[in-house]
Structure 1
Amino acid sequence: MLLDTLVATTETVASTRSRLAKVDALAALLSALEPEEIAPAVGFLVGKARQGRVGVGWRGLSGAMGDPAAEPTLTVDDLDRLLDALGALGGSGSAAERTRTLRDFTERATAREQDFIARVLLGEMRTGALEGVLTDAVARASDRTGEAVRRAAMLSGDLGETARLALTGTADELDAVGLEVGRPVLPMLAASAPTASDALATTGEASVEYKLDGARIQVHRHGDEVRVFTRNLADITHRLPEVVEVVRRLPVRDVILDGETLSLDEDGAPRPFQETMSRFGAEAARETVLHPWFFDVLHVDGRDLLDEPLSTRLAELERIAGEHRIPGEVTSDPEVAERVSRDALAAGQEGVVVKAIDSPYAAGRRGSSWVKVKPVHTYDLVVRAVEWGSGRRQGMLSNIHLGARDPEGEFGEPGGFVMVGKTFKGLTDKLLAWQTEHFQEIEVRRTPGTVWVAPTTVVEIAIDGVQRSSRYPGGIALRFARVKRYRDDKDAGEADTIQILRSLIRG
C-alpha cells in the first residue's frame, strides 16, 4: 500500500468527531493492507512503531529533512524498513549516517508524508485513531467480536500483531491468544476517589493497599529466566538485577507478578520519586538499590489467574511472595479503610488503592474495581511550552504550559492537548536545570520569551481544584497548580483528559 493512502486515512480520522466514521475509515484501510503491512501500519497509527524509538530527535530530524517530492511513491513497507535501518545504527559515525539515511528517504516523500514520517519518528501521532477506536476497526474489518479483539490485544500487549492475526487468521486462533510467561500484558489501571471511604462505597468489600511512591513493574519468571517490564511494556531486565534476584528466589517455576519498585533511605522510608526514576532509567548499575513489592499475581506454574477473584490471587501471592507483598487489609469498614490510608501516608507513601475483593484482573482497562486515593488532587499533564524565567531564574526555562489530553477532539485537534494552565511552583533548582536542558532538546519553535516543545513530556501536577475560565479552549483553569514530579515512566498517551478535569467543576 502507498504510504499516502495511510496518511490520507489519518487525515480523514482527524477531521471527524464521529466515532463511527473513524471506525469505518480505519476498517477500510485495514482491509486493503497486505498481511505483512498490517502490524507496521497499526503501530504507525497509534504512535507505537514496533521498533520503538530509533534515536531521532527534533533537532536531528529538522536538519535531515529533504525537499519534498511532488508525487507519492513510498509504501508502508518502505517506512517500516526505514525504522529498521535507523534502529540498527550505532557507534562512531552513526549520527552522520542517520542524517544521510533520513535525507535520502524524506526526499522521496511528499510534504504531507514528511509530516507523517516526522510524527512517527518522534512518537508524536495525534490523529484521533486511539487504540479503542482502532480496536473496533479491527473487529469490523475482520468480522470478529470486539471483545475477542480487545482480549487478544490486552493479553499479547500488541495491537498490531492482534490486528494481523484477526485479519489473516481464524476466529479460533484469535481466541487462543492467552497469557504467555515472558510476554508482557497491559497493566490493569485504577479510577480515582477523594477518600478511602468513597472508594470503598464503590467497590464493596475490598483490599485496601498502600499506593507506593515508586515505578510500576511487571515481572515474568520461567525457570531461572526472569524478565522485568515497565508499565509501557519495555524490557528493563538489565537495569534491575536486584529485582531479578528477588524473583529468582521465590518458590515457583513460572510466575507473572504485578507490582512496584522504589528505593529506600536508611530508615526504610521511600526516597523521593525522582531518585527512584533516576535509578530506574539508568542503563548502568548504580549504588541506589531498588526494592520490589508486589500486589498481584497473574500466573503461577501453568495456572492463569486473570479471571480468578482478587481474593484467590492474593492468597497465591501471599504463598509465593509474602515477604514482598505491598501492605494492606481486606475490609468493608470505612473506618478501617481510612486508618490504612492514614498509615500509608505516615509511612511516606502516596495513599492507597482500594480493590474489590471479588474482581478479576482486567488487563489494560481502567474501571471501578480498582480505585486510587491520594491526599491531594494530582493529575498527569503534558508540557506544551516553557517560558524563560526572570530574576533568580534568569537564563532558566521556568514557567511550564500544561495541556490535558483531548482524545476525541472535543476542544481542538483529536488526540491533541488542551491548555489548562501554567505553573513554576514546586520547581527545585535541580528540576529547573534539568528542564532547561531537556526542553531545548525537544524544541519545536520559539517565540519571544517562550520555547514551544514536542508534547511528549508528562508531569504530575498537584492542584486544589479547577475553576471555570474563558481563557483556555477547554473552559477551565487549574487552581494553585504546582509541580510534584516529572513522570519518566509515562508517555503522553497516558495523560489525564480534559473531560476528567472538567468533571471537577461542581454542578
Structure 2
Amino acid sequence: MLLARLVDTVHSVGATPSRLAKIDALASLLAQIDPDELPAAIGFLTASPRQGRLGVGWRGIAALDVEHASVPSLRLGDVDAVLDRLAAASGTGSQAERAQALRDLAARATTVEWDFIARVLLGELRTGALEGVLLDAIAKASGRRAETVRRAAMLSGDLGATALLALTGSADDLAAVGLVVGRPVLPMLASTGTTAAAAVEAVGEASVEYKLDGARIQVHRAGDDVRVFTRSLADVTHRVPELVGIVRALPAKALILDGETLSLDEDGKPRPFQDTMARFGADAASDLLLRPWFFDLLHRDGRDLLDEPLRVRRAELTAVAGEWLMPGVQTADPAAGEELSAQALAEGHEGVVVKALDAPYAAGRRGATWIKVKPVHTYDLVVLAVEPGSGRRQGWLSNLHLGARDETGEFGGGFVMVGKTFKGLTDELLRWQTAYFPTIQTRRTSSAVHVEPVTLVEIAIDGVQRSSRYPGGVALRFARVKAYRPDKRPDEADTIQALRALLPGGAS
C-alpha cells in the first residue's frame, strides 16, 4: 500500500472527534493493507515503529535540508525497510549512515509524507489513533470479537502481531493467545484522582500503595533465566544485572512480576527520574544501582493469576517478594489512605495508587479500579511561541512554548523556555489563540509563530526534571493548560528559580 493512503487516513482520523468515525476509517484502512505490511503499519499508526529504538532525534531531523518528491510513490514496505536500516546502524560511521538514510527517505517522500514520518520517528503523532481505538478497528476489520482481540493484544504485548493474527488467522488462533513467561504483556494503567480519600471512597476496600517517581518494570523468571522489560516492553535485561540477581534469588521458579524501580541516594531519598532512565539507555557499567519495588504478580510457578482479584495476587506477591514489596495498606478507610499518601510524599515519592482489592489485572487498560493520586503544582508562565496544529487541529495554532521569568538574570534575563504543551486546550481556546497570537507576532518560522512575551497562562504540572534541552536546565513534566490569565502582567509570571527549586535536592 502507498504510504499516502495511510497518511490520508491518519489526517481523517485526527480531524474527527467521533470515536466511531475513527474506528471506521482505521478498519477500512487495515482491511486493505497487505498482510506482510500490517505490523509496520500498526507501528506507524501508533508512532511506535516495530524496530524499536532507531537512534534518531529531533536535531537529526531538523538538520535535514532536502527537496521532497512532488508525487507520492513510497510504499509502507519502503519506509519500513529504511527503518530497518536505521535500527541496524551501529559502530563507527553509524551516525553518518543514519543521516544518509534519513536524507534518502526524505527525498523520496512528499512534504506531507515527510511531516508524518518525522512525527512517527519522534513519537509525536497526535491523531487520536490510540491503541484502544486501533484494537476496536482491528476487531471490526477482521470480524473478530473486540474482547478477544483486546485480550490477545494484552497477553502478546504486540499490537502489530495481534492485527496480523486477527486478519489472517482463525478465531481459535486468536483465542489461543495466552500468558507466557518470558513474553511481556501490556501493563495495567491507572486513572487520575484528586485525593487518596476520594479514591478509596470510589473503589471501596482497597490496596493503597506508594507511587514512586521511577520506571515501570515487568520481570519474567523461568528458572535461572530472568528478563526485565520496560513500560514500553523493551528488553533491558543486560542493562540491569542487579535487578536480575534480586529476582533470581526470590523463592520461586517461574514468575511474572509488575513493579517500579529507581535509585536511592545516600540518605535513602529517591534520585531524579532521569538517573533511572539513564540506566535503561546506556550499555556501559554504572555505579548507580537500581532497587525494585514489586506491586503485582501475574504468574507464580505454573499458576496464572491475571484473572484473580488483587487481594489474591497481593497475598501471593507478599509471600514471594519479601523486602522488595511495594509499601502499602489494605483499607476501606479514606483517612488511612490519606495517611499513607502523606507518608509517601514525606519520603520523597510521588504519591499513592489506590487499587480495588476485588479487581483482576486488566492488562493494557486504564480503568476505574486503579487510581493514582499525585500533588499538582500550578504556575503562571508566559507564552513565547505557538506551533500550528495538525490532524484535528489543522488550521489552528495549538502547541504552546512556555517561558518562566528569570528574576535574577542568572540565565540572561527576560523569559526562559521551560517546555511545551497542547494539553487542556478546548476548541474555544484554540479558536481564540489562533485569532489572538498573530496580532502580537514578532516573527514566523515554518514551525512556529513567535510572539511578544506578554500573555500569561496558568499551567498545571506534576513536577519538573533536569533538562539540557532548555537554557534554564529544567523542563516541565506533564504540563497542561488550566486557564489564560488576562488579569496578570508578565512581571507577575513565576520564575525559573521557583521551578528549579522543585528539582530533587533543589536547584543545585
TM over 0.5, yes or no? yes
TM bucket normalised to smaller = 0.7 to 0.9
Map Cα deviations across residues 345-366 of structure 1 (whole Å, 9 max, x no partner): 3333322222111111111122
Counterpart residue type for residue 398 of structure 1: V
Q: Within the alignment, does 1:385 sit opposite 2:401 as a pair?
A: yes
Q: d(CA) in 2 for partners of 1:150 and 1:408?
A: 30
Stretches of structure 1 lacking an aligned partner (at least 5 in a row): 414-418, 440-456, 472-476, 487-507
Q: Which residue of 2 aligns with 1:201?
A: 201
> Given the alignment, which residue of 395, 399, 416 partners 1:398?
416
Matched, 1:135 2:169: no
1:71-129: CA deviation from partner (whole Å, max 9, x where unpaired) = 22221111111100111112222233223333333322222222222222222222332
Equivalent residue letter for 2:153: A
Is the contact between residue 383 and residue 400 of structure 1 (CA under 8 Å) also seen in structure 2?
A: no
Give the CA deviation at 1:46.
1.1
- Describe how 1:325-404 pairs up with structure 2 within 5 A: 325-376=325-376, 385=401, 387=403, 391-394=409-412, 398-404=416-422
Greater displacement, 133-142 / 193-202: 193-202
Q: What's the TM-score once normalised by structure 1's chain length?
A: 0.79
Q: Please tell me the residue identity of whatever aligns with 2:136.
A: D
Structure 1 counterpart SS, 2:54: coil
In structure 1, what is the equivalent of residue 222 of structure 2? Answer: 222
- Separation (CA, whole Å) in 1 of partners of 2:173 and 2:426: 32
Secondary structure of 1:435 counterpart: coil
1:187 positional shift = 1.4
User: What residue in structure 2 maps to residue 454 of structure 1?
Assistant: none
Output the TM-score relative to the length of structure 2.
0.79
Cross-structure match for 1:53:
53
1:266 paired with 2:266, answer yes
Aligned pairs for 1:143-222 (under 5 A) are 143-222=143-222
2:470 alignment partner, SS class:
helix
Distance in 2 separating the partners of 1:201 and 1:308: 22
CA contact (8 A) 2:417 2:470 kept: no
Native 8 Å contact 2:462 2:477 kept in 1: no
The superposition leaves residues 154-192 of structure 1 with CA deviations (integer Å, 9 ceiling, x where unpaired) of 222221111111111111111111212122212112223
Deviations 1:175-229 (A, max 9, x none): 1112121222121122233332211111111112222332221111112111111
1:37 is matched with: 37
Q: Which residue of 2 aligns with 1:241?
A: 241
Structure 2 residue identity aligned to 1:366: R
The CA deviation at 1:408 is 11
Q: What's the CA shift string for 1:373-420, capped at 9, x where partnerless?
A: 2344589xx98536597521118983324414479989769xxxxx96
- Alpha-carbon distance change, 485 to 460 in structure 1, aligned in 2, over 3 angstroms: farther
Which residue identity is paired with 1:283? D
Residue matched to 2:445: none
| Match status 1:254 vs 2:257 | no
Does the 8 A contact of 1:128 with 1:408 survive in 2? no
Secondary structure of the residue aligned to 2:262 is strand
Does residue 435 of the first structure (1) align with residue 478 of the second (2)?
no
Please tell me the root mean square deviation across aligned C-alpha atoms, in Å.
3.6
Decide whether aligned partners of structure 1 residues 377 and 309 sit closer, same or farther in structure 2, where only a CA change above 3 A counts.
farther
| Whole-angstrom distance in 1 between the partners of 2:503 and 2:181 | 33
Counterpart CA distance in 2 for 1:279 and 1:54 is 18
Counterpart in the other structure of 2:17: 17
Bigger shift: 27-36 or 387-396? 387-396
Q: Give the length in aligned residue pairs.
A: 453
Aligned-pair distance for 1:133? 1.8
Report the alpha carbon displacement of residue 470 of structure 1 after superposing the two structures with TM: 7.8
Which residue of structure 2 lines up, in the alignment, with residue 288 of structure 1?
A: 288
Contact 2:259 2:296 in 1 (8 A): yes
Read off the aligned partner of 2:245 and give its amino acid letter. E
What letter is aligned with 1:436?
P
Distance 2:307 2:430 in 1: 39
SS in 1 for 2:257: strand
Q: Give the whole-Å Cα distance in 2 for the aligned partners of 1:149 and 1:180.
A: 17
- Tell me, what secondary structure is at the counterpart of 1:112? helix
- Asked if the contact 2:464/2:477 (under 8 Å) is kept, the reply is no
For residues 420-448 of structure 1, give each alpha carbon's deviation from its aligned partner in whole angstroms, at most 9, with x where no partner exists. Answer: 656999879xx365533999xxxxxxxxx
The answer on whether the counterparts of 1:388 and 1:398 sit within 8 Å (CA) in structure 2 is yes
Q: How far is 1:244 from its partner?
A: 0.6
Q: Which amino acid aligns with 1:155?
A: L
Change (3 A) 1:25 1:218: same
1:158 and 1:12 map into 2 onto residues whose CA distance is 25
Kindly state the Cα deviation for residue 273 of structure 1 after the two structures are TM-superposed.
Answer: 3.7
Q: Tell me by how many angstroms 1:372 deviates.
A: 2.1
Give deviations 1:4-48, integer Å, cap 9, x for gaps. 211222222222222222222211111111110111111101111
CA distance in 2, matches of 1:4, 1:292: 45
Q: State the distance in 1 between where 2:183 and 2:378 align.
A: 31
Greater Cα offset, 397-406 or 83-92: 397-406
Contact 1:260 1:292 in 2 (8 A): yes
Residue aligning to 1:495: none
Does the 8 Å contact 1:401/1:423 carry over to 2? Answer: no
The structural deviation recorded for 1:343 is 2.8
Q: Which residue of 2 aligns with 1:304?
A: 304
Corresponding residue of 2:387 = none
Q: 1:168, 1:338 → 2: CA distance?
A: 50
Amino acid paired to 1:243: L
Cα distance change on mapping 1:411 and 1:222 into 2, 3 Å: farther
Q: Residue deviations 1:442-497, cap 9 Å, x none? A: xxxxxxxxxxxxxxx87245x9x9457689xxxxx99x9957569xxxxxxxxxxx
Matches for 1:71-86 after TM superposition, within 5 Å? 71-86=71-86
Shift of 1:62: 4.0
Q: 1:392/1:426 Cα in 2 relative to 1: closer, same or farther (>3 Å)?
A: farther
